[in-house]
Structure 1
Amino acid sequence: MASSPPLFYISSPRNFRHRNASSTMTSSSGSCSPSPYSLSYANSLSLCHHRLGHNWNFMTFVGVRNFWKRLSLKAEVMSTAHGNLSSRTDMSNEEDKPNHLLVLVHGIMGSPSDWTCFEAELRKRLGKNFLIYVSSCNMYTKTFTGIDGAGKRLADEVMEIVKKTENLEKISFLAHSLGGLIARYAVAVLYTPNVFSERTGNTDSSIASKLETYSASALIAGLEAIAFITLATPHLGVRGNKQLPFLLGMQFLEKLAAPIAPIFTGHTGSQLFLTDGKPNKPPLLLRMASDCDDGNFLSALGTFKCRVVYANVSYDHMVGWRTSSIRRETELAEPPGHSLDGYEHIVGIEECPPVVSENPQFPPGAAKAKEVAQNEPSTRNTIEYHEIMEEEMVRGLQQLGWIKVDVCFQTAFWPLFAHNTIQMKNVWPQNVGLEVVAHVADTIKQQDSSPCIGASS
């Protein structure tokens, strides 16, 4: 049987030469679980309660539960070596249950049925260790109530699933279009920093070191965060010809888009156009590019071992290439004419390491530009304001590492439906999206199999 093609290739924004980089998404190696005999269960609970006080909420409890569940499984493995057959049976039953929750989030005016084909393919490719859950709390017009409101509902929904399902240890998110922004808000709500935030005082330095390694990882919904993946998500908002392509670059449409967006899409529309709130207050998407009073948005994303954005380089008339790939205009290149081996419609992958920079700002000049864009919308005013905001959002988000996957359906039978094809909403004619499903599944499996607990930079 022929070997499978390398999953990851690295290319610069202006040079999509493919290089074999199948091991680019890695994290530090080494065992991350302490000895099952290093602590008592009661002492650990007492430690957590002392550290967290009255804020010892359900997410913290789930993290403690899963931590000790791993220790008990290790103990069972050790006991089976001495002939404990009952322990071997119990362990087998535990292993038969899924331990990785994958949450699928639809886009604007969407519903769980949007994922029918994609989900079916994922189930075939991922196997029994994954519990695939399709979110249903923000169907149809509920997506108009604001990214923040939808994000909180998604967080509540995820917590209900975690509360009702045993054996879960890991969590990943896969979101399409607006769903990516909703998921970004939700993970900030679900974020719990450092359950075990100090050494235990055990005299065995190696055990203490392993426990400290585990404690470096924050949790999402009380679970280890693995992959955060978006498909054609407007991470930088929408505007104009490049960011909202269906406006076709017509100035009168671009001028009308921002003020009329709330009429059709409610509070979500003003948030996407960055005109939500008072003039002197940063728009939500800018706040979501940092840790602020509204939530630890950047820290929550940083908890995941990898963050991957899939972006259509052309023919996406809803979300432009720049905003979906979190790039500046100068970082875009001409789409290459060749694709990756084994993934026909994936034309480039760029691994972007974190960039040290200041947190995004909302200077007085930005407040003035926002007020003008709200009260006197014009093509010039809107572009000026968005350029200021986009630079700040990119600067904030690039403090984390990203994998940017460029997708091109130009050779597909109906390329104009790229925004839906990347989610494979229908088997035909959008079955060309199978390569995207395959690459997403391979990415998740690669990260899931990594033995080390902890997020990548």
Structure 2
Amino acid sequence: MAATPSVGVLHARCGSFTNRANIPHSSSSSSFNTTSSSHFCSSSTSCHFSRGVNNNRWHNQSLNAHAMSTTVGDSVSSSISLHGDRGPDHLIVLVHGIMASPSDWTYFEGELKKRLGRNFLIYASSSNTFTKTFSGIDGAGKRLAQEVKEVVQKTKSLKKISFLAHSLGGLFARYAVAVLYSDSSKRGSSADHDLIAELEPISFITLASPHLGVRGRKQLPFLFGLPLLEKLAPPLAPVFAGRTGSQLFLTDGKPNRPPLLLKMATDCEDGKFISALGAFKSRILYANVSFDHMVGWRTSSIRRETELPKPPRRSLDGYQHIVDVDYCPQVPSDGPHFAQEVAKAKEAALTEPTTQNTDDYHELVEEEMIRGLQRLGWKKVDVSFHSAIWPFFAHNNIHVKNEWFHNAGHGVVKHVADSLKQQESSCLAASL
């Protein structure tokens, strides 16, 4: 296997951190004190989201995996047994986006198979194809979780799990891992780390996913930032994208209840969303800095407008169109909250959807979501297709949806594969 090229100097704009590495480095594990989760309250009181993320510890891994299998849909390839009794020990779940199918991963899947080695089981999810993506993030997340459980039950050799998701699939995956999350404190005194689907969580990676939703200024770029279009989009979203549309535009639920994406930025009665993400050794966000007309840079990289850096024009050595890699360490906070102020803003945005009301509501909710998600460390990888032949295909280029039309993203595929390899190597080294 060819040596991995240097990615150069990685500048941590979110903290005083600079590192030189030969391969992309991973985000460190987050450490928090565990606290009890509180449920959401009505708009008449300020509601705090309590959360807790247990310390991550390395767990001994089997070094004798002898098989790799690529799967698509709901059946696991029978080729696992042909390579030895142990089979693959690391499951990578690929999750597609809106109105898509497992075939979107054909090129990416093939490259991962060639680059990663024989102990990976690469599985392209099929439980949320096409119009099923309109039934709600929560519903899709539960279906994905059930699908993963079935794969794990069929493949007894598995010990580790990672997720790689594109676009809306990133939100499905975030919900699913909360469903699959198992707190070590509830499994007895011998348990030393949290699990996802009873496996050790390793990497959680998203490509151009709308983590902060699509409501607000330029969060949905094809609206061109025009106030009139951004005003019309939220009420029309449920018509075209069903329940998922209202969740993406933060209009789901009653006025005195928080939207789903705000719940997913904390631990609450609906799920241990932050604890589940915190269980992964590495969390990586790939975000298009421009030319992505579906998902804006800010929402896909979980940044405030003021935190968006000026992207370099040159690609990192060996990774075409990867222009920057930042490690942003955890930022402790007591958020997020669904305070009375936010509830009133939501009610105003729903009952009188003026530009001012919708902007005020979104700014408040977005800030709370950022505060919640930034309590974990993230590696943020900025991608720019400005020099590609078809830059306007950025949203599909980033995961090479079609090998012929979207092949500008091959550098992203290589970077993802090298990040997965590096995290796997770190895991194996820690087990020695």
TM over 0.5: yes
- Relative to the length of structure 1, the TM-score reads 0.79
The whole-number CA distance in structure 2 between the counterparts of 1:8 and 1:409 is 19
Structure 1 gaps of 5+ residues are: 29-66, 74-89, 201-214
Deviation at 1:94, TM superposition (A): 4.2
How high is the sequence identity, in percent, across the aligned residues? 63
Aligned match of 2:54 = none
Alignment of 1:314-325 (within 5 A): 314-325=290-301
Which of 134, 143, 156 is the equivalent residue of 1:166?
A: 156
Alignment of 1:13-412 (within 5 A): 13=13, 20-22=20-22, 24-25=25-26, 93-94=84-85, 97-194=87-184, 215-412=191-388
Deviation at 1:217, TM superposition (A): 1.0
The whole-number CA distance in structure 2 between the counterparts of 1:452 and 1:2 is 20
Deviation at 1:239, TM superposition (A): 2.1
Aligned match of 1:449 = 425
Distance change (3 Å), C-alpha of 1:380 and 1:8:
farther
CA RMSD of superposed structures (Å): 2.7
> Could you say which structure has the greater relative contact order, defined with CA pairs below 8 angstroms and 6 or more residues apart?
2
Aligned match of 2:10 = 10
**SS of match in other structure, 2:280:** coil
Contact 2:27 2:329 in 1 (8 A): no
- Relative to the length of structure 2, the TM-score reads 0.83
Would you tell me which structure has more strand in proportion to its own residues? 2
Structure 2 gaps of 5+ residues are: 30-58, 65-80
Would you tell me which structure has more helix in proportion to its own residues? 1
The whole-number CA distance in structure 2 between the counterparts of 1:216 and 1:377 is 49
- Give CA-to-partner distance per residue, 1:376-421, whole Å, 9 cap, x none: 2122211111110111001000111100000000000010010011
The whole-number CA distance in structure 2 between the counterparts of 1:247 and 1:290 is 30
- Larger radius of gyration between Structure 1 and Structure 2: 1
The whole-number CA distance in structure 2 between the counterparts of 1:26 and 1:419 is 24
Deviation at 1:339, TM superposition (A): 1.7
Identify the range of structure 1 (113-122 vs 307-316) with the bigger mean alpha-carbon deviation: 113-122
Distance change (3 Å), C-alpha of 1:9 and 1:105:
farther
Number of aligned residue pairs: 383
The whole-number CA distance in structure 1 between the counterparts of 2:291 and 2:19 is 27
Distance change (3 Å), C-alpha of 1:329 and 1:137:
same
The whole-number CA distance in structure 1 between the counterparts of 2:246 and 2:301 is 21
Contact 1:14 1:334 in 2 (8 A): no
- Give CA-to-partner distance per residue, 1:94-120, whole Å, 9 cap, x none: 45x211110000001111111111111
Deviation at 1:70, TM superposition (A): 5.5
- Give CA-to-partner distance per residue, 1:116-172, whole Å, 9 cap, x none: 111111111112211110000001111111000000000000000001112001100
The amino acid of 1:186's aligned partner reads A
Aligned match of 2:45 = none
